[in-house]
Structure 1
Amino acid sequence: MTKPVENPALVAAKEAQRKIDEALDAGRSFRLEAGAGAGKTYSLVAALKRLITERGQALVQAGQKVACITYTEVARNEIAQEIEDHPAILVDTIHAFSWAFLRQFQKALRNFIESMDDRREKIEQGGGVGSKPVVYDLGFFGVDASHITLGHDDIPAIMAKFISQEKFRQLFTKQFPIIFIDEYQDTDRQFMEAITENFLKVGNGPLIGLFGDHWQTIYRSEYELADYPMEEIGKGSNFRSAPAIVNVLNKLRPELTQAVRDPNAFGEARFFHANAYTGPRTDDIHSKQDLPAELAKSTREDLINRLQTEGWDLNKTKILMLTHNVLAAEQGYPSIAKIFSGRTELFAKKEDPAIKFFAEIVEPMCAAYNASRYGEMFRIFGSGPAIMKHTDKIAWREDMDTLQKLRIEGTIGEVIDHLKSAGRPLLPDRLLRRDEELIALNGDPIPEDATALQRYSKLRNVHYKEVSELVKFIERQTPFATQHSVKGAEFENVLVVLGGGWNHYNWPQLLELIKSKSLTNKNIKGYYRARNLFYVSISRPMTRLAVLATQSMSETALETAKYLFGNDYVEELAISNQ
C-alpha cells in the first residue's frame, strides 16, 4: 500500500519544530519567525508540552518554572488551557508576570521609586515613600498615606531596570531557567531590550525562546526587526490560505517562503484599482488622491455585489477597512473610535473592561429580554432570578425596562449608574474599580499617566447607542472590520479596501517602494508601517482575496500590483466621472 504523501505545509512545520527541539536540547536561545497562517501558537504549545514531558517534574521539585509571557489575556488563557495549567509552566501577560516577580522586592521597589525624578512632586504630595507597601492595581501612579501604587507603564520599565542589576538577574534566572515570549514583536520594548542586553548578548541567564513575526508588528512605533543575537528558525508553512493567496505572500516576502497545505486547492487573489476615474479627488491632510467619499463607498458596494455574483458568499466574507475612524462613521460608533484612537485593540478585542462588559453581558441580556427568552437572559446574568414574590418580578421588569430605555436615549455613564444601583446585571470588579477611581478624584484633573481612566471618563459621556452598534461590529454581526482588529483571525473570503482615510498609511507609495526599494530616512518608517499592515490584511483569507485601491495609482505602483497578483488578476474598474 502506497504511503500517503504528507502535505508540504506539514513537512515545513515539522522541520521548524525539529529545530526548536534541537535548540532546547542544546540550551540555545532561538527566535521562531512564523509568518501568517504558519501556526505559531501550535509551535509554542508543542514546545511547552515537550518541556513538561521531559523536565516538568524536575522543574516542580526544584521550585522553578518555565515562563511563557503573552501579549494578551486571550492568548494567556488559550495557552494555559492547552497545557492544562501545568505547575511547571507560568503563563501570563508581561504586566502580570513582571509584577509577580517584582512584588517580592518591596525595599528595592521603594528605593527605585525614590529615584524617580519625574514623580518627585507626586511622591512629596503623598507624604513621601517611607516604608509604605508598593502595590499595582489601579493602573496609574499614586502615593497616599498608606501605600504607593504603580502605573501600568511603570511595570515593564521597572522590570527592565531590575534585570539590569546582577543580583536580580541571578534570582530571575534561578526562578525561570527558560522563558518563552509570545508575539515578541509587540512585547514592551524596554523589557525586550533588557532581555537582549543582559542575557542574549552576554550569553548568560535563561534560555530565551521568542515566538512571533516581525512583519506583523502593527501596534507599536518600531516596525523593523530588532537585533536579537540568537538562532533564527523560520517556519515556512501556511495552513490557512489557498495557493493563489500564498503566492502573493511569497512574492511580497521571498525571504520566508511558505509551503501550502494543498497545492491544488481552489482559491483566488485579485487586485482592483480606480485609475479610470479622472474627476476631482480628495486633497486634505487625512486623505490624498482618493475617490470622493460617496463615490468610494458606491465603488466598494458595486464591487461587493459583483463578487457575490461571481461566487463569493457574503456570509463568509470580511471587508477590511483602513481605520476604525472611516468604518465607525458608517457603522455608528465614531465617538468610541476617537476615544480609543491608537489603541483600537482595546475595544476591537474587548480588552477594555467596559466594552467587554457591554459586549458579553449587557447587550446579550437585553437581546434575550426583548425576545422574551428569559431563561437565556438569566443564564447570561449568571444566576437564577431569585423571584420569590410578585413584587420581585415587577422590580426585575422595571429595571430591565429602564435599562432598555437608557440604551436608546441615555449615555454610557447613565447606563453604568443605573446598573450600579440596580445590580441587574452586576458591574464587574475591574469596571467598578475604575468608576470608583474617577469618583475618588472628586472633580480633580485626571493624572496624565492615567490613560485608562481618561478614556473611561470620556466614554461615560458617549451616547450608549454607539455601544450597541459597536457590539454588532465586535461580535462580527457585520461584514466589516479593520486591518488592526483582525490580526490572528482568518476568514473564508476577504476584501481589503486601501484608501486615503488616514495619513499614517500611504498605499500608493508602499507599492512603489516595494518595487523601487528606494528607502530613505524620511520614508522608511512609513514604508514598514504600511507594509506590515498590508501583509496582515492580505494574509487573513482562506480561499478568496480581493484588494480594492481607491487612491490614484502610479505606473510603478501598478507594476508592483501586477508582479504580486499576476498581470491577469489586476483590473481597472470602470467608474463614471459624473
Structure 2
Amino acid sequence: MSETATQGDKLRKTIAACLDLENPKSFFLFAGAGTGKTRAVVEALDIFRNRYGSQFRQSSQKVAVITYTNAACDEIRRRVDFDPIFAVSTIHSFAWEQIRPHHKNISDWLRRNLCSEIAELRNKQASGRPGTKAALEREVRLESKQKRLEHLDGIRQFTYNPNGENVGKNSLNHTEVIAISAVFLTDKPLMRQILFRKYPILLIDESQDTQKDLIDAFFRLQMHHPDKFSLCLFGDTMQRIYADGKVGLEQAVPAGWEKPVLNVNHRSPKRIITLLNQIRSEADGARQEPRQDAQEGVVRLFLIDDVDDVDKPTIETKAARIMAEVSSDNEWLSQQAVKVLTLEHHMAARRGGFDRFFEPLYRIDNFRTGLLDGLLNGIPFFAQQVLPLVHAMRSNDRFAIARVVKDHSPIIFPERLSKSTTPLKEIRKAAKSVESLLSIWYDGADPILLDILKLIYDQDLFKIPDVFTPIVSDTAQQGGKIELVHADAGNDRNPAIDAWREALSVPFSQFEAYAEYISERSPFGTHQGTKGLQFPRVMVILDDNEARGFMFSYEKLLGAKSPTKTDETNRLAGKDTSIDRTRRLFYVTCSRAQRSLAVIVYTKEADKIASHMSSLGWFKDQELVQM
C-alpha cells in the first residue's frame, strides 16, 4: 500500500474517533501546500454524515464549517451535495449569525465602544492644533459617532452584509461583527451554550488566518465544554498571510488534542518539493514528500543586476525563453500561460496599473486586510454600485442599470416613494441622476474617483459610506477643490482620511484594475490572491527596491543583507521578524507551481546571493542564472 493511502486511512480513523458525539475530541490537522486539505475537510464531513446524518436531519443541529472565501464555501457545499446538515459559511457570515439575535447586547457593546472612540477623538482634538484640516476632519468624525450614539436607542434591528458595504445607521461593519462575536463568546455563557448545542462540531479551514481574538474565543469554548463541543482546525502555519491571524497557532493547540498530519504533496514535482522543504527548514522543519508518480520538475534562480535603467519586462521575457528551453515547454513563451507572482502587493499594483489607488490605502496598517479582500469600508461602494453601473452602460444594458439603481438608490426606495406625493417625479429624478453620472464616461473619458463620488453625493443617487463624508464635506467647503496631502504627512492629521483623499484623486480605470486584481482575474498575483490555487508555470519576482516594504526583506532571506538589531531582538523574544514574514511569502508563492518554477531576483549583490543559496542547498550551481 502506498504512503498516500496509508496516511489517508490513518487520517480517516483519527477523524472518525474525534467526530464521535458520545465522546467528542478536537484536532488540528496540519496540511501543507498541495496536500489535499480541502479534500480532507470534505472527507471529514462525509465520515460524520455516514454516521450521524439521519440523526442531524431530524434535529435542528448542524455541523458548522468555516472557510475563508465565498468561492471555497461554494466548492465545499457542492462536494457535500448541498446537504443541509452542514452550515458552510465564511467567518464573517458565521459570526453575524451568532450575534444577530442579541440586539440589546450589541447595542450595549456599541455604546461602550462609541463612547470610548468619542473620548479618544476629544482628547486628540484638545491636544491638536485648532483650525487645521485634521481638526475639521476630527470634528466631522466626532459628529458622525455622536449621531450614531444618539440613534442607538431608536434602532430596532441591526443589519449587516458580510459580502458588501454597510452604510445605514443600523448597520454594523466587518470589524465590529468579528470583535463583538469574540467578546460575546468569551463573556456570555448563554451564547456559548446556544452555539455548541446548535453546532456541536465546528470545522475551521485556513485556521491560521482566522482572526486571533475569535480563534482564542473558540479555544476557550472548547476548553470549558470538551465533552459537548469538538473544534476541528485545518491549516498550515507556514501559510499564514494576514496580520490579524493568530501567531503560533500550532503551539497554542492544547496538549490533549489530536494532531494528524498530511505531508504528501500532490501538486508539485520532486524538485520543487525539495526546495519547499529547504525554505521552511529554518522555520518549523516540517517536510513534505512527493507522490510516487511525481515528475522531476524544473527550477531556476535568475539573479539580475539591479541597475537604474534595467529593462524589467525585457529581462522577464528573456527568463521565460530560457525556462521554455530548459523545461522543454514552449508554453513559457505565452504570456497568458505563465502566472507571474510578486511577493509584495505594491509590485503587482505597479505591474497591474492600480498603484496610485492602492498604495495610499496600503500604508494604513488597519486598512490592509480589508484592502486585500475587497471589504475595506468604501471599496464595496465603488465595486458593487458604481462599477456594475459603468459596466452596464458600456454594454448598453438598460435593464442592468435599472437593477443597480433599484437595489441601491435611496431616491426610489419603497419607503421613500410611499411617502412621496409625486412618486413618478422621484423615479424621473433617479433616471436623470443616473444619466448625469454616466455622462462623465462618455467619449472614452476616464473620470477621477472623487468627481464621481461628489456627483453621486450631490445628486443623492446612492448613500455614500461614512468614511467619505469628511472628504466630500471638505470638498464642498473649498468650492469643489480639494488639497491633496499624502497619508504620511504631518502629525496633526488623520492618516486614514488623507489616504482615502489621495486614493480618490486617481482615474476610475485605476479602481477597475484593482477590482480585477482582488477578483483574481489579473495576470499578476501574490500569495493572498493565489493561496489554494495552482499553476503549471510560475514566475516569482523578488525586488526589494520596487517593493519598498519594511515588513519584508528578500535580500535578508537570500543572504545579501544581515538581520537588523530589531530582527535579532524579535527573534530572541519569539516574535515575527522580517525574515520570518518573507520566508512565509516566498514559500506560498513557490508552492503554487505544478511543473516548473522561475525565481527572478533584482539585486546589487548577485554574488552574495549565489554563494548563500549554494551553501544552503536551495539551488544547485547549474540552476543559477546571472543576467
TM-score, normalised by the number of residues in structure 2: 0.70
Deviation by residue 1:48-75 (Cα, 9 ceiling, x = unmatched)? 2332332233224332221112222222
Distance 1:536 1:182 in 2: 16
User: Aligned partners of 1:473, 1:489: CA distance in 2, in Å?
Assistant: 15
Instruction: Kindly report which structure 2 residues correspond to 1:324-473, keeping only aligned pairs within 5 A, or say none.
Output: 324-341=345-362, 352-353=379-380, 356-357=383-384, 369=395, 402=439, 405=442, 408-412=445-449, 435=464, 443-444=472-473, 461-470=505-514
- Match of residue 520, structure 1, among 562, 568, 577: 568
Cα distance in structure 2, aligned partners of 1:531 and 1:81: 34
Deviation at residue 37 of structure 1 after TM alignment: 1.0
**CA deviation digits over 1:435-491, x for unaligned, max 9?**
365788794589xxx999998876654312324544665677764323332222211
SS where residue 497 of structure 1 aligns? Answer: strand
Q: Structure 2 CA distance, aligned partners of 1:125 and 1:336?
A: 29
Asked whether the 8 Å contact 1:562–1:569 carries over to 2, the reply is no
Q: Structure 2: how far apart are the matches of 1:420 and 1:406?
A: 23
Q: What is the match of residue 150 of structure 1?
A: 172
Q: CA deviation at 1:185?
A: 1.0
CA contact (8 A) 2:212 2:246 kept: no
Instruction: Deviation per CA, 1:56-106: give whole Å up to 9, x if none.
Output: 332243322211122222222322233343222222222221221212122
Q: Which moved more, 1:436-445 or 1:527-536?
A: 436-445
* Residues 1:44 and 2:41 aligned together: yes
Q: Distance in 2 between matches of 1:223 and 1:559?
A: 32
Call closer, same or farther: CA 1:264–1:481 in 2, change over 3 Å. closer
Contact 1:72 1:93 in 2 (8 A): yes
1:228 alignment counterpart: 253
In the alignment, is the contact (CA less than 8 A) between 1:318 and 1:495 conserved in 2? yes
Moved more, 165-174 or 180-189: 165-174
Change (3 A) 1:344 1:85: farther
Closer, same or farther: CA 561–19 of 1 in aligned 2, 3 Å: farther
Question: CA 1:82–1:353 in structure 2 vs 1: closer, same or farther (change >3 Å)?
Answer: farther
Alignment pair present for 1:54 and 2:51: yes
- Which residue in the other structure is 1:503 paired with? 550
Corresponding residue SS for 1:241: coil
Query: Which stretch of structure 1 is more off in the superposition, 152-161 or 331-340?
Result: 331-340
Q: 1:297-328, CA deviations, whole angstroms, 9 ceiling, x for partnerless residues? A: 54334323332344441332112123232333
2:63–2:200 CA contact under 8 A, matched in 1: yes
> Per-residue deviation at 1:187?
0.9
The 5 A counterparts of 1:559-570 are 559-560=612-613, 563-570=616-623
Is residue 269–residue 297 contact of structure 2 (8 Å, CA) maintained in 1? yes
AA matched with 1:498: L
* Conserved 8 A contact 1:243-1:260: yes
Does 106-115 or 69-78 show the bigger shift?
106-115
Structure 1 residues 14 and 464: alpha-carbon distance in aligned structure 2, compared to 1, 3 A threshold:
farther
Q: Given the alignment of the two structures, is residue 245 of structure 1 paired with residue 292 of structure 2, yes or no?
A: no
Larger deviation: 58-67 or 171-180? 58-67
Q: Deviation at 1:533? A: 0.4
Distance 1:559 1:363, change over 3 A: farther
* Deviation per residue, 1:339-364 (Å, 9 max, x gap): 55266776766665357559995787
Q: Secondary structure at the match of 2:34?
A: coil
Query: Partner of 1:287 in structure 2?
Result: none
Q: Which moved more, 1:327-336 or 1:229-238?
A: 327-336
Deviation at 1:217, TM superposition (A): 0.8
**1:268 is aligned to 2:263:** no
Kept in 1, the 8 Å contact 2:301–2:600? The answer is: yes
Distance in 1, Cα, partners of 2:615 & 2:99: 53
- 1:183 deviates by 1.1
Matches of 1:190 and 1:382, distance apart in 2: 42
How far apart, CA to CA, are the structure 1 residues paired with 2:602 and 2:268? 25
Letter in 2 for 1:150: L
More helix by share: 2
CA contact (8 A) 1:95 1:156 kept: yes
Residue pair 1:273, 1:549 contacting (<8 A) in 2 also: yes
Conserved 8 A contact 2:271-2:298: yes
The alignment's C-alpha RMSD in Å is 4.4
Match status 1:481 vs 2:481: no
Separation in 1 of the partners of 2:18 and 2:343?
A: 40
One-letter amino acid of the counterpart of residue 569, structure 2? N
Question: Is residue 149 of structure 2 the alignment partner of residue 126 of structure 1?
Answer: yes
Moved more, 50-59 or 344-353: 344-353
2:489 equivalent in structure 1: none
Match of 2:286 in 1: 256
**Distance in 2 between residues matched to 1:234 and 1:513, nearest whole Å:** 35
Q: 1:189 aligns with which of 197, 212, 220?
A: 212
Deviation at 1:257, TM superposition (A): 2.6
Query: In structure 1, how many angstroms separate the alpha carbons of the residues matched to 2:54 and 2:89?
Result: 21
Q: Contact between 1:514 and 1:560, CA under 8 Å: does it hold in 2?
A: no
SS of residue paired to 2:45:
helix
Q: CA deviation at 1:31?
A: 0.9
Deviations 1:107-137 (A, max 9, x none): 3333334443414664687337547435133
Unaligned runs of 5+ in 1: 278-289, 384-394, 423-431
CA distance in 2, matches of 1:434, 1:569: 60
1:10-21 equivalences under 5 Å are: 11-21=6-16
Aligned partners of 1:569, 1:84: CA distance in 2, in Å?
Answer: 49
Deviations 1:165-192 (A, max 9, x none): 3232222211211111121111111111
The one-letter code of the counterpart of 2:598 is A
C-alpha separation in 2, matches of 1:445 and 1:160: 36
Structure 2 gaps of 5+ residues are: 120-144, 404-431, 476-493
**Taking structure 1 as reference, are residues 437 and 401 closer, same or farther at Cα in structure 2, changes over 3 Å only?**
closer
Structure with the higher strand share, 1 or 2:
1
C-alpha change, 1:322 and 1:556, in structure 2 (3 Å) is closer
Are the structure 2 counterparts of residues 318 and 349 from structure 1 closer, same or farther at C-alpha, using a change threshold of 3 Å?
farther
CA distance in 2, matches of 1:60, 1:21: 19
Q: Is the 8 A contact 1:322 1:482 kept in 2?
A: yes
CA contact (8 A) 1:511 1:560 kept: yes
Number of matched pairs:
520
- Residues 1:166 and 2:166 are matched in the alignment: no
- TM-score, with structure 1 as normaliser: 0.75
Matched residue SS, 1:69:
strand
Distance across 1 between alignment mates of 2:299 and 2:70? 34
Worse-matched range after superposition: 331-340 or 486-495 = 331-340
Cα separation, 2, equivalents of 1:269 and 1:344: 32
1:302 corresponds in structure 2 to 318
Q: 1:490 to 1:349 in 2, by over 3 A?
A: farther
Checking the alignment, whether the CA contact within 8 Å between 1:37 and 1:539 is kept in structure 2 is: yes
Alpha-carbon separation, structure 1, partners of 2:561 and 2:48: 41
User: Percent identical across equivalent pairs?
Assistant: 22
